[in-house]
């Protein structure tokens, strides 16, 4: 993390933009993260990413074991600038990576004696997996899951579109998280790292500005 570079780049932003960054970063978390597994419809993953941004989830993991698509920028509405996207070539690779980083694996499914939203234990770092539109999550996720989570439903239909499910789950759990005493906030170093990324995504011709900064610094 180059603090001098960060300060230099921040000088290109308006006070309004800098204040907005500070306000948003104070509400970001890595306590929860979201995973989409081989989702067919591009706009669904894009909409999930938008929900991550809206509810302060900093990281989205996208498993592309069989399906690889670009994020739908129109649906994401710029959220791809503000949310860190991690792409994985296999579900197992994704699960292993998350477990190494201290996350419990939570499969979202109406089956498997799933826990209802209101009863979910928010104290542990959790990665919420959302599956394909028709088939749901793979057996790899269901077998590796540390827990199962469902949205209570009262009609004939037992499933929701994954982008809707993600929005409902995140709104409920993030609200509870922020009303709790759990240490869910980012560290100061994490905040600086992310603000540096956001700043680079905001400034035009940023590569040339960075190159000039280091050239002048090394003179």
Helix ranges (H only) for 108-150 are 139-144
Q: Are residues 141 and 203 in the same domain?
A: no
Domain limits at 9? 1-26+188-219
Q: What is the mean pLDDT of residues 44-63?
A: 92
Same domain, 16 and 35: no
* Integer Cα distance of 140 and 98 in angstroms: 14
Does residue 70 register a pLDDT over 90?
A: no
192 and 164 fall within a common domain: no
- Domain count within the chain: 2
Crossing angle of helices 188-202 and 206-217, rounded to 10°: 120
Residues 133 and 208 in one domain: no
H or E element, residue 150: strand 147-150
DSSP state of 103: P
198 and 108 in a common domain = no
pLDDT at 75: 47
Q: What is the pTM of this model?
A: 0.89
Strands 147-150 and 59-63: unpaired
Residue 68: which pLDDT band, with cuts at 50, 70 and 90? low
- Spatial separation of the C-alpha atoms in residues 70 and 76, rounded to whole Å: 11
Q: What is the DSSP letter of 136?
A: B
Q: Helices in 59-115 by DSSP H: which ranges?
A: 73-76, 79-82, 91-100
Mean pLDDT, to the nearest integer, of 17-29? 97
Share of the chain above pLDDT 90, in %: 66
Q: Give per-residue pLDDT as tens, 174-185.
A: 999 999 999 999
Does 82 score more than 80 pLDDT?
A: yes
Per residue in 120-174, pLDDT (tens digit) is 999 999 999 998 767 789 999 999 999 999 998 888 777 788 889 999 999 999 9
- Within 8 A by CB and 6+ apart from 71, the residues are 42, 45, 46, 49, 80, 85
Say yes or no: 91 and 160 in one domain.
yes
Same domain, 10 and 87: no
Q: 215 and 144, same structural domain?
A: no
CB 141 within 8 A of CB 131: yes
Do 152 and 51 fall within a single domain?
A: yes
Chain centroid, CA 193 distance in Å: 16
Residue 21 and residue 89 share a domain: no
Q: Domain of 42: which CATH number?
A: 3.40.1280.10
Predicted pLDDT of residue 45: 82
Residue 188 pLDDT: 96
Q: What is the mean pLDDT of residues 33-51?
A: 83
**Looking at the structure, do residues 151 and 217 belong to the same domain, yes or no?**
no
Q: Judge if 42 and 63 occupy the same domain.
A: yes
Question: How far, in Å, CA of 179 to CA of 50, rounded?
Answer: 22
Asked whether residue 25 carries a pLDDT value surpassing 50, the answer given is: yes
Report whether pLDDT(217) > 90. no
């Amino acid at each position: 993390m180059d603090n001098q570079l960060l300060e230099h780049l921040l000088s290109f932003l308006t006070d309004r933009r800098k204040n907005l960054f500070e306000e948003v970063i104070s509400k970001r978390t890595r306590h929860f993260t979201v995973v989409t597994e081989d989702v067919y419809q591009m706009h669904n993953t894009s909409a999930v990413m938008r929900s991550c941004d809206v509810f302060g989830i900093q990281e989205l993991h996208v498993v592309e074991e069989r399906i690889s698509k670009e994020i739908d920028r129109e649906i994401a509405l710029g959220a791809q600038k503000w949310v860190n996207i991690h792409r994985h070539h296999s579900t197992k690779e994704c699960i292993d990576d998350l477990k190494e980083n201290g996350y419990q694996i939570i499969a979202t499914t109406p089956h498997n004696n799933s826990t209802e939203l209101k009863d979910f234990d928010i104290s542990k770092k959790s990665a919420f997996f959302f599956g394909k539109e028709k088939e749901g999550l793979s057996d790899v996720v269901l077998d590796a899951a540390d827990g199962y989570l469902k949205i209570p439903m009262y009609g004939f239909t037992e499933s929701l579109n994954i982008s809707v499910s993600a929005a409902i789950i995140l709104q409920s759990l993030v609200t509870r998280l922020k009303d709790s005493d759990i240490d869910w906030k980012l560290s100061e170093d994490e905040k600086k790292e992310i603000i540096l990324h956001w700043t680079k995504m905001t400034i035009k011709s940023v590569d040339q500005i960075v190159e000039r900064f280091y050239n002048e610094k090394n003179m």
